Structure 1
Amino acid sequence: MASSSTPALDLKVHQLDVACAELKSLHETRAVYEKRGGIFFRTTVKAAVKSQQKELEKAKALAKKTAV
């Protein structure tokens, strides 16, 4: 994580990282709810982890871009 990026962006990256770790700790057969837009959808842990990791990668890329 870049220290020269904005604190809000650093917080977002940290929150997404924690969310991924929490989802990975759940049993695979457990159903979870994922917020897309303003609505919650029931999904699998695997799909939710994939979605969170995608968001995390986007946030990290944005943090790198703003740090330069």
Structure 2
Amino acid sequence: MVRDGVWCKSSRSGSEGNCVEVAGFADAVGVRDTKDRQGSALSFDPMAWTQFVGAVRVGRLTSRA
């Protein structure tokens, strides 16, 4: 995955520093820790990412925190 791109902080990130950033690329969606921008990033298939976000939005996935 290409590391250069437009990374956007999640609108659901809180003020506690537990934040993630997401970037869309031609062949992948990248997710990284805002506090460690030079560290590892996860890479997802765009369709899988879209399905994941959709499941979260309709409440099919719940937090156990």
* Global fold match (TM > 0.5): no
Larger fraction in helix: 1
Larger C-alpha radius of gyration, 1 or 2? 1
Q: Which structure carries more strand by proportion? A: 2
Q: TM-score, normalised by structure 2?
A: 0.30
Larger RCO, structure (CA 8 Å, separation 6 or more): 1
